[in-house]
Structure 1
């Protein structure tokens, strides 16, 4: 579902974004001295959680919030680091009560915000809420301008843990003045509340935001459009010097799962993690596909975002729309993203020295999407699909996935590549099935490019040396044939060296195609999640 758009915002929001994108980075970054971070002890790593707006707009309710809290727990996303369940606009009635306080809409929140918070807290999670630093919110409900302490007291008494503070109907009161007033009001309550400034990147908020809030929006609103994701990325990536533990550049919530392609969603998620951005899911997680959850739940990528060093990734090259980002990590590793904003595939290359690693004879590369390990003497490169990205964690050392045994897990299904019913007879169907740890799901990668099962006696085989889309993949005695040789690519696909086609879950581009027993075949590579695999 596409969320309703905000009301028209001042032209200065657009002008500010254009200025940020077009101006020389050094000029922007030297415009003001750094300020000390807000000393509230919160958000030492970028906040992670969920917000209802992108998927539901004004259709928020207590039931939705509580069901999402339940799902964060049952899906494992809570254990992955998602902790804030955030309510956006439209949660209140259209007028304050006689005491001047905000009133939760009793139809949407029959137990009030305090009751909803109690439920969320019972799940080991935290509750966030929304207000605006103006006379009204963006959807016309009462704003907090002139009521900062009253509203902060309400939030604290209800058990709120996070405030998203918007910028509509601000009456031309200076941004820093309005946002500082709520900072002080929150501090006066004595309750720890993460403070997220949402002034759309106006008033050079990055130059003063760290002294006021725990994060600050650097651009106007995101939407479900890859070009918008790219433009926001280009603006936000220039501001790395302002991010630090407790104070983060915020390029807005995640649209992962809301309608872009799997390749685009993966780039979106990886770029936000590389930029140490808050990871706030903006989709209906209760209905999210396995492919979407494979992105939100990727703990290796999350670890880059949540790294304790607190450094935002920087761009070291961007020629022709081919971007290289590097982010130093607390243990001395470096996270590297190769991002292709263009529509056609391209090879992107950098080096260990360029990304900031010390001189060494060998470097260990961990692909954070496919979990494949490899070594290099210095070159870091991948063929990156259009709108795609490859994300590595690179360190001094060596390593390889060759000779190791793993389950192969499909992104579209979260199920394992499997030899039918544990059979070993040549010609046995290769399918997907719930991962169970059996020998029929244990794949050994060989130096010859084979994918062997059952301890190495049987190989994945393209039926009858087929090289056309639809060729079935079967089990067959290993014989060194070209139809038994495979290439694990940096973008997460597995291609047959004989055919050049991708290992594909038949019909897995649709939910019905990801059930237990679905055949694996060869198909033209198309970037679908049903052609993406990772080592378990």
Structure 2
């Protein structure tokens, strides 16, 4: 009985432990374009290739945005006589292979969408029961990235699996095909919407997982996503990351009016997504993108943190600010974030309030900062060296604005600096008495 109990306990520990699927693909977050929020089902291959060309023309492909994600509604509503998914001839009159080859010539890898149920969320053929067959179709068409959704799932007595098992069917098909063909596996992005805590288990199956429902291009939606991320930011690592959903920094077809983020909100949106190491898949109109939109998307200093080859972890909160720490508040998520990088210690400060705010933090609130040191300060938005900081930093931020700073050790602080400790309430003299500020 003891051995059996031990085996059960070990199995439970393994089942709940966070892991990452290092199968050779998806070490770093994907950057690129997603068709859904911009077009939903109303598109043609020519329209999509215009967006792809716009990304090239704006220099975004050169900046790293080289994944073009074809979302739902690309096929006929029914499979052919051999059970295969068929591309919609009206949307893709030259065929899907021609479309992916055109993307490849522009410098993109192609991604496609499917579903773990009978139908996709748009009502097109899903992949349940056809995982291997659909995977062959996608690979034959030229796709190497798969966004996998969670609509129209079969009854429990049909699957006899929960969501993990339904997603595992496609993950197993990807693994089997890679071994059989001796090719690189298709990269799998799970779109589970966060209902069953995918940040705990999804890294066993794919390289990213959605943390919640679909994004909307207004501040309350963004702050709610950031609030959720405040509690799970530490689950991101190489080959496995929280996907906060699509980037909405420019003009979209959603909202009233569409795409109604302010410039400061768009900066905060991009900064949070990038520094939390989320995939960065744009779904705004790049053909009419403003200069300000392109400047946000091509911020090389922030993209460098997102694509850090040596540090896979995301920034995480060190203080909530507006609220007491660990308060769940969709309107006011954590405001003070930090993390390490190959280039220095990163700080992100978000003003979640509707009015401009003066904000400040103690450097040693970050675990990555050494006490008793002075730090050089580089602004990741102005791209300027802003002198040095000792003990604390203060900022004035606009409503829903953001600051992103990179700090590097610049030597010991001057002798005799008082108070003796930045966190003076824990500071002690050698005789065991506490220092009192």
Instruction: Mark yes or no: TM-score above 0.5.
Output: yes
Structure 2 counterparts to residues 237-316 of structure 1, below 5 A: 237-257=230-250, 258-308=259-309, 309-316=311-318
Q: Is the 8 A contact 1:349 1:380 kept in 2?
A: yes
Shift of 1:169: 0.5
Residue 353 of structure 1 aligns to a residue in which SS?
A: helix
Does residue 206 (structure 1) correspond to residue 194 (structure 2)? The answer is: no
Matched, 1:324 2:336: yes
In structure 2, what is the equivalent of residue 402 of structure 1?
Answer: none
**1:392 aligned to 2:401?**
no
- Gapped regions of structure 2 (runs ≥ 5): 1-12, 179-183, 251-258, 323-331, 412-437
Give, in whole Å, the separation in 1 of the partners of 2:371 and 2:102: 52
Paired residues of 1:326 and 1:335 also in contact (CA < 8 A): yes
The question of whether the paired residues in 2 share the 8 Å contact of 1:60 and 1:90 is answered with no
TM-score by length of 1: 0.66
Partner of 2:363: 352
Cα deviation, residue 121, structure 1: 1.2
CA displacement at 1:31 relative to structure 2:
11
Q: Is the 8 A contact 1:256 1:292 kept in 2?
A: yes
Considering Cα pairs closer than 8 Å and 6+ residues apart, tell me whether 1 or 2 has the greater RCO.
2
Alignment of 1:214-233 (within 5 A): 214-233=207-226
- Three-state SS of the structure 1 residue aligned to 2:231 is helix
Could you list the per-position Cα deviations for residues 124-147 of structure 1 after superposition, in whole angstroms to 9, with x for gaps in the alignment?
Answer: 210111111111111111111111
1:340 aligns with 2:359: no
CA distance in 2, matches of 1:161, 1:237: 31
Q: 1:363 aligns with which of 353, 362, 375?
A: 375
Contact 2:234 2:316 in 1 (8 A): no
Residues 344-374 of structure 1 deviation map (CA, whole Å, 9 limit, x = unaligned): 1111111222122113542111111111211
**How far apart, in 2, do the equivalents of 1:311 and 1:69 lie?**
30
| Alpha-carbon separation, structure 1, partners of 2:17 and 2:56 | 38
CA distance in 2, matches of 1:327, 1:91: 40
Instruction: State the Cα RMSD in Å.
Output: 1.7
CA contact (8 A) 1:91 1:108 kept: yes
Shift of 1:242: 1.9
What is the number of equivalent residue pairs in this alignment? 368
- Quote the residue 2:58 is aligned against: 75
Change (3 A) 1:319 1:31: farther
Instruction: Give every structure 1 segment of 4 or more consecutive aligned residues whose post-TM-superposition deviation is greater than 4 Å.
Output: none
What's the CA shift string for 1:162-203, capped at 9, x where partnerless? 111111101254211111111111223324321100010122
Q: Larger radius of gyration, structure 1 or 2?
A: 1
1:103 aligns with 2:86: yes
CA distance in 1, matches of 2:14, 2:363: 31
**In structure 2, what is the equivalent of residue 188 of structure 1?**
176
Instruction: Pick one of 139, 144, 162 that aligns with 1:161.
Output: 144
Contact map agreement 1:73 1:79 (CA 8 A) in 2: yes
Does the 8 Å contact 1:384/1:390 carry over to 2? Answer: yes
Q: Taking structure 1 as reference, are residues 54 and 310 closer, same or farther at Cα in structure 2, changes over 3 Å only?
A: same
Matching of residue 123 in structure 1 with residue 111 in structure 2: no
Q: Secondary structure at the match of 2:335?
A: strand
Asked whether the 8 Å contact 2:321–2:336 carries over to 1, the reply is no
- What is the TM-score normalised by the length of structure 2? 0.81
- Deviates most, 31-40 or 253-262: 31-40
The CA distance in 1 between the partners of 2:307 and 2:15, in whole Å, is: 27
Structure 1 unmatched ranges of 5 or more: 1-29, 399-536
Residue pair 1:68, 1:286 contacting (<8 A) in 2 also: yes
